[in-house]
Structure 1
Amino acid sequence: MAYIHSSVERLMGLFDHYRAVTHIKPYSHQVDTYKALKAGQSVILRAPTGSGKSEGVFVPSLPMLGIGEFS
């Protein structure tokens, strides 16, 4: 059973709340990045400035950070 640190759970919850309140939907490159990372694939994300590259990688990585899957 995986354990997700409570601060990571809280951060994920805040992000979900922010998206719900602002009605922000992820860009297609963010969705594709999320799916690839979840499948355990390596990702190179190339997109213009201000297009959400950081969120496209950081947000899907939160659960992995919380349970120590990165080395």
Structure 2
Amino acid sequence: MEIIDTVAAASSSSGEPWLVYLQFIVAGLLVGGTWSAYQAGNKILTIILALCAASAFAGAVFWMAGVLN
């Protein structure tokens, strides 16, 4: 719980909503890279990119929640 409070405090102090949009864009690009790696049959790269995409998406959602508060 302490980590979430720290992240929320850091994100609400920045007040930059465009960074949330940028992080969603990065997550979308990572999803596209994941799909391309999957179609190419590269399983290791698919897993790595999927984890990065999920992390970027989760970070954007948590950051958005902090900005909106």
TM-score band (shorter)?
Answer: 0.3 to 0.5
The structure having more radius of gyration, on CA atoms, is 2
Higher helix share: 2
Q: TM-score, normalised by structure 2?
A: 0.37
Q: TM-score, normalised by structure 1?
A: 0.37
